[in-house]
Amino acid sequence: MIASLPMYDRPETANAHDRLWESFRDAWPGAPADLTRDGDPWTHWKHAELLLSQTCGLPYRARLHGSVQLVGAPVHDLPCPEGRYFSTIIARADDNRTTVAEFAGARPAINDPLSQSGWAALDAKARDGGFHFSEPVITGSHAASAHAIANRAADIAAIDAVSWKYIKEFDGLEAVLKEICHTRPTPALPYITAKAQDARKVFDTLGSAIQNLEDADKRLLCLKGLARVHARDYLELPMPTALSRMTGRERSS
């Protein structure tokens, strides 16, 4: 079996993620001793013996639905419904523009073309406003997108709300960046398991593991619990503009 939690895993959160996994592992006979952190996340997500991982809503609806089982969605400590999250749209603090519409034609920083929070949510915001952005800068991560804005390589970005919390706390960019607005809430990054696993048992075990965390770890992981979600919650979301022209690499965040 294999287990990986590639989303939100960074040096500052690694120990808390390890403690979450230890609680799950101790309740699941035969579970892997450690989380798999190396390698391509797509290899983890498509592994025939996947016990637990977390993906992004856009990869789930675009490529994984039908080949994995949906376990549930995290309940984050965010001002939105349980099992949902949103993106924070950011720009440089010295940019005089204050609304997303004013960035029509501007160059966005995008962590990955297959990111719900970094691209699909931003694209939906633009389409709702009747405009589009120019050719994006593909950065590889939300933190790299924030740095691209700060370094004037791009003008605007949508950052996963949990990732934005970490960027403000750990990356030292809060003074040079500003928040423009939030995107509408969508289902949070789904936990998944392989077709052969008992998804209900995985849900119950993971939910108990989250509740067993110390309060300090819950605060650090911005994690309050686990919510049941339906595949349709993800599948009904629109695919972002020009996705077919922007997916040269199978990665996401």
> For 16-62, how does the pLDDT look when each residue is reduced to its tens digit (9 = 90+)?
999 999 999 999 999 999 999 988 999 999 999 999 999 999 999 99
Amino acid identity, position 248: G
Could you tell me the pTM of the whole model?
0.92
Which mean pLDDT values do the consecutive 10-residue runs of the chain (253 residues) have? 90 97 97 94 95 97 96 97 98 97 96 95 94 93 98 98 97 95 97 98 98 98 97 94 45 39
Distance of alpha carbon 234 from alpha carbon 148, whole angstroms: 29
Enter the tokens of residue 60.
Answer: 């789930």
Distance of alpha carbon 190 from alpha carbon 229, whole angstroms: 9
